[in-house]
């Protein structure tokens, strides 16, 4: 059964938009705030559209310090793997081009290139899905972060075994 006194959904939605626009206007009154899109100063803006770039401006809540420790931990672990393998590729090239005591083993090169590719793809995926990972439950976030830190350690073991 519908409440006859309640306004239609469109009227409520418009009233909410008007209230949001008024809050935005009051927030910007006498305050220097840069447009997040173009950097234009929105001081004393009366509407909800940036006059410089034409983007819709909304006032919203966000965490002052979003919990990103697990995200950064995972990124550091993956970056360590990329860095380790990248340095080993550089080492291989230096030995190949400048050293006169023979060429390095091809198995060495294959191992470090595979490690570089695996860590590089994992790091790209980590960055691509950063927001989705941040919204995961804390245990799942930390499990992924630990896996990212274990990956370079596994890579070192594989590398050590393969060069024998």
Q: Are residues 143 and 105 in the same domain?
A: yes
The 10s digit of each residue's pLDDT in 22-48 is: 888 999 999 999 998 898 999 998 888
Q: Are residues 57 and 83 in the same domain?
A: no
Q: How far apart are the first and last CA of the chain?
A: 78
> Would you call 98 helix, strand, or coil by DSSP?
helix
Q: Are residues 56 and 1 in the same domain?
A: yes
Q: Are residues 107 and 143 in the same domain?
A: yes
Q: Are residues 2 and 55 in the same domain?
A: yes
Q: Are residues 78 and 155 in the same domain?
A: yes
Count of the separate structural domains present in the chain: 2
Q: Are residues 156 and 87 in the same domain?
A: yes
- pTM passes above 0.75: no
The 10s digit of each residue's pLDDT in 99-148 is: 776 666 788 889 999 999 999 999 999 999 998 998 899 999 999 999 99
Residue 8: domain span: 1-61
Q: Are residues 108 and 84 in the same domain?
A: yes
Percent of the chain with pLDDT over 70: 90
């Amino acid at each position: 059964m519908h409440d006859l006194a309640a306004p239609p959904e469109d009227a409520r939605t418009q009233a909410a938009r008007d209230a949001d626009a008024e809050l935005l206007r009051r927030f910007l009154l006498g305050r220097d705030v840069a447009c997040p899109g173009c950097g234009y100063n929105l001081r004393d803006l009366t509407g909800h559209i940036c006059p410089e770039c034409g983007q819709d401006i909304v006032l919203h809540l966000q965490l002052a310090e979003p919990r990103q420790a697990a995200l950064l931990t995972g990124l550091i672990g993956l970056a360590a793997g990329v860095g380790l393998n990248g340095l080993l590729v550089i080492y291989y090239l230096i030995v190949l081009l400048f050293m006169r005591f023979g060429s390095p083993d091809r198995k060495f090169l294959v191992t470090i290139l595979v490690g570089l590719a695996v860590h590089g793809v994992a790091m790209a995926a980590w960055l691509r899905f950063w927001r989705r990972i941040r919204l995961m439950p804390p245990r799942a976030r930390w499990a992924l972060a630990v896996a990212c830190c274990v990956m370079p350690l596994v890579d070192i073991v594989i590398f050590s075994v393969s060069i024998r």
